[in-house]
Structure 1
Amino acid sequence: MDYRPEPNFYFDGGDLFYVELSIISFRNYILLVEKSFDEQKKNLSEKYAEHYKNLDNSDLFLHTTTSELLEIEQEFIQRFRKSIVIQIFSYLESELKSICNTHSDSTKSIYTVNDLKGNSDLDKVKKYLTKSMKIEVGKFDLWPFINNLRILRNKIVHENSTIQINDGDLKAIKTFSNNKFLLESENPNSEFYNIVFNNQDFLDECLNKIESFIQEIMKDYRPFY
């Protein structure tokens, strides 16, 4: 039997466990904050109902309570969910770049993921995984979701959670938004849509698919001897 040296780079159970722990932490954080929002809305609604029995609709308390409910629903919850989408995608990028950089160091590669050209960090990671680790992530079933999530994150960060009607990514975002989030326009002649995260389940979907995507990369990799 020919001797085969120990590979310079490989994944083990500890890597998969670390990813699982990170995703669990995200889930717990989201659950904690969303539960707090629900409790605040419930408390305000109960106070509103109690005062409404005895006071007319012009009462200052009723107007104030209504404003507070709208603020939670339209401002606080939206800001939180947008920040979570950003954090989740940042976590994905960080993990993928870490995989590429660790592989580069371990195998003494003459280049790193940062040396590659690409339209985004995700594009550079895709090139490194394909070229150096022989993992064709572009063929993964989850790749379209991951790439659409990148586009969505960019709209939140760079365009204040809007997308122009003449944006080349609008068709993809409209398809991606189905049962995930809303695209709302202020009037029929609006030049842009507002991205509204009305579905908490979308955050959980993002976590599930990002976890599966990273795990698939780890399981698909075969070290070179």
Structure 2
Amino acid sequence: MNINKLLRKNIEFRIESLFEYNLFIESNIERELSNIQKNYDEIEKKYEEFKKKKTEINEEENDYYIDVYDDLSDSHRKIQDDILLKHRNSFVFLIFGFIENEFYSFAKNSLLVTNISSIDDLKGNSTFQKFKNYISKTDPPLYESIKDELLFFDNLRLVRNFITHHNNVIRSNSAHYRRVKEFSNELFELRQLGYVYNTEIIAFYIILNNKKIIDIILEKLNVIFDKMYLRN
């Protein structure tokens, strides 16, 4: 087995670990949501039976059921709209850190056979941008081969930046709005928040509510690393 296959196999194991980690977290969250829904349905059934049996509604008992309803609804909303989405946001950060580390390692190892002294000498505001510049200069055929995947991850980088620096909010006058909107198709939701005060600018909230989004990203990782390491 040559060195590239060994390196690719090592990356494959680590991506598989990310798959398993995400599956574990998502499955446990889904199980908890299912349990809450089950409890909610049981309470609803008991409440309907309680109302049928009573000619006059006892306020105390009625308040008890309403309180339980509210508690279960709040728990469901907190997990669904807060904990789950924070997990996916955090996972995007984790994945992108992984991507940049692997791109940097690939470029650093390849420097031995190029006339570029360091990837850090290349233009770019991030390791990702420097890697793109490096590959386009040193290996045009590889760049052509992976440019679709690079575009995907470049779009993901934009999403990560809006999540990190703008609290998930993107405005319709943003320079990157059209790219993010197009990228969101079948991947995540851009939920309209409303108009920015006294303007015609619309604010949107980035919600990673597609349960398959992490798997899609990890599959893209496998595709690009296959192209990088397993070329004929």
Between 1:25-34 and 1:129-138, the stretch displaced more is 129-138
Amino acid at match of 1:212: V
Out of 46, 55, 80, which is 1:54 matched to?
46
Task: Look up the equivalent residue of 2:217 and give its one-letter code.
Answer: C
**Aligned residue type for 2:17:** S
Unaligned runs of 5+ in 2: 48-61
Alpha-carbon distance between aligned partners in 1 of 2:143 and 2:170, rounded to the nearest angstrom? 27
Query: Contact 1:11/1:218 (CA < 8 Å) preserved in 2?
Result: no
Residues 137, 217 of structure 1: 8 Å contact kept = no
Residues 94-151 of structure 1 show CA distances to partners (whole Å, capped at 9, x for unaligned) of 10001112223x4485621111111332111112223234554256332321211111
2:228 to 212, 217, 223: 217
Aligned length: 211
Normalised by the size of structure 1, how large is the TM-score?
Answer: 0.85
Q: Is the 8 A contact 2:192 2:205 kept in 1?
A: yes
Secondary structure, counterpart of 1:179 in structure 2: coil
Moved more, 25-34 or 106-115: 106-115
Moved over 4 A (4+): 107-110, 133-136
Distance 2:45 2:229 in 1: 60
Which of 126, 129, 132 is matched with 1:123 structurally? 129
Identity across the alignment (%): 26
Distance, in Å, in 2 between the alignment partners of 1:117 and 1:159 is 25
Higher relative contact order (CA 8 A, sep 6+): 1
The residue matched to 1:75 in structure 2 has which SS? helix
- Establish whether residue 84 from structure 1 lines up as the match of residue 91 from structure 2: yes
Which AA in structure 2 matches 1:30? N
Shift of 1:11: 4.3
Corresponding residue SS for 2:46: coil
CA distance in 2, matches of 1:99, 1:160: 32
Q: Return the letter of the residue paired with 2:194.
A: N
Distance 1:206 1:120, change over 3 A: same
Alpha-carbon RMSD across the aligned residues, in angstroms, is 2.2
Gaps of 5+ in 1: 1-9
Q: Does 1:141 align with 2:148?
A: yes
SS of structure 2 residue aligned to 1:194: strand
Question: SS at 1:166's partner residue?
Answer: coil
Q: Do structure 1's residue 14 and structure 2's residue 6 form an aligned pair?
A: yes
* Separation in 2, partners of 1:110, 1:46: 61
In the aligned structure 2, how far is the partner of 1:97 from the partner of 1:173? 25
Q: Which residue of 1 aligns with 2:51?
A: none
Equivalence for 1:37: 29
Cα contact 1:96–1:214 (8 A) shared by 2: no
